[in-house]
A and B are shown apart, each in its own frame.
Chain A
């Protein structure tokens, strides 16, 4: 194994996953979650950000029966088990939609849009969904 490869194996980058869309209208939320779960195996520094309609992904009490879609809401609760613990929700996005942390299925850190901007600035990689 070359020195370069050895070095790469030890690389830890800050991966920021930005979720901006509602959970069932499009496939982005589900496929974003799949990336986060697979990515967790790579031992990177992961932050997951929810903003705009993406905050609805964490809303309690989702029932997809009538739409025939798979309810992936419980998977967000499994994230902690994958050491994905930095979940940020943008305050302005919650406020404008009348949501509070009591409405969410997992504990999150609520951040202002300015703070979210700084979190994004700190990332090496931003994957936007």
Chain B
């Protein structure tokens, strides 16, 4: 089956990203396809490489980056939600005259249309949030 995933909450504060990660990993292991993972609302905070969790805890951001690299996952951070919360890739930094970017490897910033398309293209869109 072809799945799309939406994550609506930030890392550590809320379990949404953990559950989404475990679901995505399990689906891939079972041979399913993940069309796209879309990060919205505070979920965009899963995409900053500046996260430094304690060493004895899971690294939620790195975990997504590694999964993306291993499976060529399309991790999309919503641009409007990202701008509000300071998640920036090199292009956005240039466009909005920011002095830095912070996007984690494997993530990229794009529009809400990517969420709608993810819904249209996948057999199931699974939402992880409140």
Binding site for B on A (CB under 8 A): 8, 11, 13, 15, 27-28, 31, 34-35, 38-39, 41-42, 44, 124-129
Extra contacts besides A127-B119, A127-B125 (4): CB < 8 Å: A8-B120, A31-B80, A35-B40, A127-B115
Chain A residues contacting B41 (CB-CB under 8 Å) are: 27-28, 31
Q: Evaluate contact between B81 and A31: CB separation under 8 angstroms.
A: yes
CB closest chain-B residue, reference A35: B112
Q: How far is the CB of B110 from chain A (nearest CB, A)?
A: 12
Give the docked Cα–Cα distance between A41 and B41 (Å): 21
The size class of the interface chain B forms with chain A is 10 to 19
Interface majority SS on A: helix, strand, loop or mixed?
Answer: mixed
- Tell me if B53 is interfacial: C-beta within 8 Å of chain A: no
Q: CB within 8 A of A38: which of B6, B111, B125, B129?
A: B111
- Tell me if B113 is interfacial: C-beta within 8 Å of chain A: yes
Q: Evaluate contact between A38 and B112: CB separation under 8 angstroms.
A: yes
- Tell me if B26 is interfacial: C-beta within 8 Å of chain A: no
CB closest chain-B residue, reference A13: B120
Q: Evaluate contact between B127 and A38: CB separation under 8 angstroms.
A: no
Jot down 5 A-B pairs with beta carbons below 8 A, ordered by A. Answer: A8-B121, A11-B120, A42-B113, A42-B117, A128-B129
Chain A residues contacting B84 (CB-CB under 8 Å) are: 27
Chain B residues contacting A129 (CB-CB under 8 Å) are: 8
Chain B residues contacting A35 (CB-CB under 8 Å) are: 40, 112, 115-116
Q: Evaluate contact between A127 and B127: CB separation under 8 angstroms.
A: yes
Q: Evaluate contact between B116 and A39: CB separation under 8 angstroms.
A: yes
Most interface-central of A8, A41, A129 (chain B CB within 10 A): A129
Give the docked Cα–Cα distance between A76 and B98 (Å): 33
Chain B residues contacting A34 (CB-CB under 8 Å) are: 80, 112
Give the docked Cα–Cα distance between A9 and B69 (Å): 29
Q: How far is the CB of A40 from chain B (nearest CB, A)?
A: 9
Q: How far is the CB of A86 from chain B (nearest CB, A)?
A: 17
Q: CB within 8 A of A127: which of B6, B81, B111, B113?
A: B6
Chain A residues contacting B125 (CB-CB under 8 Å) are: 125, 127
Q: Evaluate contact between B40 and A31: CB separation under 8 angstroms.
A: yes
Q: How far is the CB of A88 from chain B (nearest CB, A)?
A: 19
Q: How far is the CB of B39 from chain A (nearest CB, A)?
A: 12
Give the docked Cα–Cα distance between A8 and B80 (Å): 26
